[in-house]
Structure 1
Amino acid sequence: MSYPKLIIIFIFFGLSFAQRSVNDFIEPPAFDAAYDIFQGDKLQTTPDSISLVKGETKQITYTFSGNLTKAIKVYFNTTANNIRLNPNVFTISPNLKEGSLNATGLDVTSRTFIDVYKCEILDGSGNDTCPFNKTESFVRVKVIHSHAIEILVSVTGWIYFVAWSISFYPQIYLNWKRGSVEGLNFDFLVLNIIGFACYTVYNWLMFFDHSVQDLYIQKHERALIPVLTNDVVFATHALLACIITGVQCFFYERGQQKISYTCMGWGSILIAFSAISFAITIFSVIDWLQFINNLSYVKMAVTLSKYFPQVILNIRRKSTVGWSIGNVVLDFTGGSMDITQMILQASNTDDWSGFYGNPVKFGLGLVSMIFDIVFLIQHYCIYRNSDSDVSYDVVQTTDNSSTRTLTNPAETSTSTIESPTGHY
């Protein structure tokens, strides 16, 4: 079976797998003593997270969802001294199952929590058992310098989402307009498809599968699920756009361009790693969370490697014709907005751990921007006069020599440069 067919099978297998529902196999967390008699009862919070500017006060409402036969005092505390609660206790009863408290920001912090400290049943028995799971009744609090900066964080997020989402279309349009995919490196495209296939499966399972979410919460207590709706939409859309670009390669003029041996080997390693991870997950050697984490490692490896073939192709062709600069500009815009958002978030909470605590995210974004700068220099500086639609039937790339045929539509003649034949 040919290498491109293997890739296509892998893509659709991944998409169909991502839609399956994995059966829950997570044991419930330990509850308070005697919690089993109140199974399903909760003290719900509205809202479950708030942002405060220093000195600002917001109200939090708590509602008990179960049945009560006696009045209960509920006491609260905070995990840090960045906020003040007033009051820090209220009473719920059979006739009044709702209470509220006010939280005031005292000092900037990226995250702290308001917790239920204890309960007191008002029957004189001294029983302090809460009729709900205390560990679930918490509120995330962030104290920031400015709501205006927080708005900018949201704006930059939408900018990079839109920029990255539409960055695939300039290349698709350019291929259609030229009726050719010459100048677009097939290695780059293949690696992109592999990367976004893994990224799509990761996002779908993390977002839709509750058992995976439970595993994540068990390992990252009180953390938010790191995948949002826009992540799922972006990943799926990106994969489909890459597949469309791949389909164009079968129908448009491509000369004798082929996938290089290096890409075949590297891509096979990435696919094999993903397939083995899936197999050992099925046999419970690793859990589903580790499986999708392995897929995220594949995406990282793709990001670090996919740009090199296109850079080398541009150098050897001495031209960027066929490689959409619009794609590069939009990708650079998205990357710069992503890093800008990280800077804004860090400065608004005085927490820079996003840079040194999660160097992978920052590093991958920086790598993409560096390559975008290389492409911009190639297009606008080094090869800025090579803007005619030049066609090369075969061009040496990363690992093979080949016969190169140059055709310039502006000329009536065709020149051929002979070199040892190879497979691209």
Structure 2
Amino acid sequence: MSFPVAFLLVLFLVPFTFATNNLVVRQKELEIVIGGEVSVNFQIKNHTSQSLNATRISLSQSPYISHPDAILVDNWNANVTVLGSQLVSGAILEALNCTTDGSITCPLDLEDAFARITVIRSHFLAILIQIVGWTYFFAWSISFYPQMYLNFKRKSVVGLNFDFLSLNLVGFCAYAIFNLLMYYNSHVKNEYNIVNPRSPPPVLLNDVVFAVHAFLACFITILQCLFYERDNQSVSSKCIALMIVLISFGFCSAAATVLRKIQLLSFVTSLSYIKMAVTCCKYFPQAYFNYTRKSTVGWSIGNIMLDFTGGTLDILQMILQAVNVNDWSAFYANPVKFGLGFVSIFFDIIFMVQHYVLYPNAEEPKKNQETSRF
């Protein structure tokens, strides 16, 4: 047999050789009420015909979950009963090693043999956390429509600050690309798994849907500015300069990725920084615009109420999650999420004060007096 043919044969057979005898856990995420128990099933997939019934699997230890030190494989399966001893979020139960007939060489691939186990205080709290999460997702998702409807009803965008709109578009564009790459791109997911081994995915499908929907809603609102009355409003030079800096940062990160100076995951992370910067800056122009006009006419209070609801419920969910597992690390380990939610709520309160307290009797411009505010 010639060398090239033998080499190609090896390349063809190697993947199948390494794919045999993989020990896996089918259900990666498990919840236990404190004091309760759950059965974790380890299965051998792509197994060979050799008998592994005498294989003994050694498991990791944790002060938060109790289980046998080792389990035996029986008919390509091994089951272990886990008891939730203390409240904890995401404790890892994994197969560390295995032995067969006294051999020190483990015949199994253990890379995927793990489960994340969360010991919770209450199933009721867990259900409430899900309800709160979907409620703020819904509130944030529809928060764009009151402004769009108000613009359509008035046939005018006078009162809506163009700096706010422009920054919002840039922010949600970066956020949409971030979520799409993090959720769909296999290279990004592989790099994330290397940096954060055995951690849950940071982006879910609802995050992707929200980000893309938000970008499209911002784009449609900007299109309204092209066709409806806008008076002398325009994007300020300061805002243009800020957007140039943010977009240049994104392009530089992309160029560095293409030149292999940074990993693809670093580029994706840089997009999240753009979104954070926009969130911290975007509310100032609209708040100052309302102040100089002494009016909130043209700026939808419905948008603010829904944004305030979403931000409040987002932080409430963080609190409920912390209570349910007795772990408050999310507030100091991930201060960005809490900080951005707080910034949104802070400015929403300012807008509500402007609308209901400072300028409640501001009148519609004469040519738009026939239509009412949303």
Scaled by the length of structure 2, the TM-score of the pair is 0.91
Q: Which residue does 1:145 correspond to in 2? A: 121
Is the partner of 1:152 in helix, strand or coil? helix
What is the CA deviation profile of residues 172-205 of structure 1, one whole-angstrom value per residue up to 9, with x for unaligned ones? 0000000000000000000000000000000000
Corresponding pairs, count: 355
Residue 82 (str. 1) matches residue 57 (str. 2): no
Find the counterpart in structure 2 of residue 73 from structure 1.
55
Q: Which residue of 2 aligns with 1:28?
A: none
Q: Give the CA deviation at 1:249.
A: 0.3
CA shift in 2, pair 1:326/1:40, >3 Å: farther
**2-structure distance, mates of 1:41, 1:337:** 46
Opposite residue 105 of structure 1, the aligned amino acid is G
Match for residue 384 of structure 1? Answer: 360
Match among 95, 99, 102 for residue 116 of structure 1: 95
1:220 aligns with 2:196: yes
Residues of 2 paired with 1:150 and 1:161: CA distance?
17
Aligned-partner Cα distance in 2 for 1:74–1:323: 67
1:289 equivalent among 255, 265, 269: 265
The equivalent residue for 1:99 is 78
In structure 2, relative to structure 1, the CA distance for the partners of 1:293 and 1:40 (3 Å cut) is: farther
- Among candidates 238, 245, 248, match of residue 262 of structure 1: 238
Q: State the match for 2:254 in structure 1.
A: 278
Which letter maps to 1:389? Answer: E
In structure 2, do the counterparts of structure 1 residues 41 and 253 end up closer, same or farther at CA, with 3 Å as the change threshold?
farther
CA–CA distance in structure 1, aligned partners of residues 117 and 85 of structure 2: 11
Unaligned regions of 5+ residues in structure 2, if any? Answer: 1-13
1:61·1:100 contact (CA, 8 Å) conserved in 2?
Answer: yes
Aligned to 1:4: none
Larger deviation, residues 241-250 vs 136-145: 136-145
**Cα distance, 1:62 vs. partner?**
1.6
Whole-Å separation in 1 of the counterparts to 2:200 and 2:368: 56
Distance in 2 of aligned mates of 1:409 and 1:82: 65
1:241 aligns with 2:204: no
Q: Secondary structure at the match of 2:91?
A: strand
**1:54 — aligned with what?**
34
SS at match of 1:139: strand
Secondary structure, in 3 states, of the residue corresponding to 2:133?
helix
Question: Which one has a larger percent helix, Structure 1 or Structure 2?
Answer: 2
- Residue 408 of structure 1: how far off its partner (Å): 7.2
- 1:202 pairs with 2:178: yes
Match of 2:6 in 1: none
67 and 351 in structure 1: CA distance in 2 versus 1, 3 angstrom threshold: same
Give the C-alpha shift of residue 87 in structure 1.
Answer: 7.5
| Alignment-derived partner of residue 22 in structure 2 | 42
- 1:322 matched residue in structure 2: 298
- Tell me, yes or no, if the aligned pair for 1:332 and 1:372 is still in contact at 8 Å: yes
Q: Name the SS of the counterpart of 2:62 in structure 1.
A: coil
Alpha-carbon distance, 1:134 to partner: 1.6
CA distance in 2, matches of 1:260, 1:97: 67
- Kept in 1, the 8 Å contact 2:171–2:274? The answer is yes
Correspondence for 2:276 among 291, 295, 300: 300
Using the TM superposition, give the Cα deviation of residue 89 of structure 1 relative to its aligned residue in structure 2, in angstroms.
0.7
Residue 70 of structure 1 aligns with an amino acid whose one-letter code is S
1:44 Cα deviation (Å)? 2.1
- Give how far 1:40 is off: 5.0
Tell me the amino acid that sits aligned with residue 77 of structure 1.
L
Distance change (3 Å), C-alpha of 1:177 and 1:409 = closer
CA contact (8 A) 1:74 1:116 kept: no
Aligned to 1:399: none
- Contact persistence 1:145–1:349 (CA under 8 A): yes
| CA spacing shift, 1:269–1:79, aligned 2, 3 Å | farther
Aligned-partner SS, 1:136: coil
Normalised to the residue count of structure 1, the TM-score between the two structures is: 0.81
Cα drift, residue 68 of structure 1: 4.0
Three-state SS of the structure 2 residue aligned to 1:259 is coil
The Cα of 1:84 is off from its aligned counterpart by 1.3
SS of corresponding position for 2:108? coil
Quote the residue 2:326 is aligned against: 350
Q: Percent identity?
A: 44
Distance in 1, matches of 2:23 and 2:221, equals: 51
Return the alpha-carbon distance in structure 1 between the equivalents of residues 149 and 261 of structure 2. 45
> Take 1:316 and 1:342, find their aligned partners in 2: how far apart are those partners?
36
Partner of 2:111, secondary structure, is: helix
Amino acid in the other structure paired with 1:88: A
The 2-side partners of 1:408 and 1:118 are apart by 74
Shift of 1:114: 1.1
Q: Distance in 2 between matches of 1:147 and 1:130?
A: 38
Root-mean-square deviation (CA, aligned residues, Å) is 1.8
